[in-house]
Homo-oligomer: A and B are copies of this chain.
Amino acid sequence: MPEQPHLDAVELGVYLDLIEVTSVIRLAVEHQLREAGDLSYVQFQILARLGSSPSGSHGMTELADGVVYSRSGLTYQAGLLQKAGLVTRAPSRDDERSMIVTITEAGRERLEKVFPGHIEIVRSLLLDPLSREDVETFARLLGPVREHVRTAPARSARSRRRK
């Protein structure tokens, strides 16, 4: 390990542990999603976001942020989801330029189909070694981080501006 960290030992430990833990979980989850529901990780994230949205809808740019770097990446994945009948795409009436992506009933069913096995992996790899109290603590810490990450500069927009 390089020895010029602007992080102290504890911070470095958190970072390295997180890299390792999330990498293993992600690999396992990617495989499960493909096998159980023929979904890529990105496709699952899109469906999950739409599914947990009250309206079941999101604009494309909004959907891209935090999931893919480029808009074209989202266009590709959304195209696959649409072809599979899991989402619909329709132009917004407020702004004719923007596309509203909406999860379909089949999309929700697919989500439900993969969810149990998905959860099982997360439970066995992440949650099992933690006590109930630890899980609650973990939740308390992660909440603010998620908020912070959401308000961080949007990547799909930024990369466009860079031109």
Contact = CB atoms under 8 A, between A and B. Distances in A.
Interface string A49-85: 0011000000000000011110000000000000000
Interface residues of A, number: 67
Contacts of A68: 27
A7 B145 contact: no
Number of identical monomers bound together in the oligomeric complex? 2
A153 B87 CA distance: 36
Interface in A68-121: 68-69, 108, 111-112, 115-116, 119-120
Interface of A: 1-2, 4-7, 10-11, 13-28, 31, 45, 48, 51-52, 66-69, 108, 111-112, 115-116, 119-120, 122-130, 134-139, 141-150, 152, 155
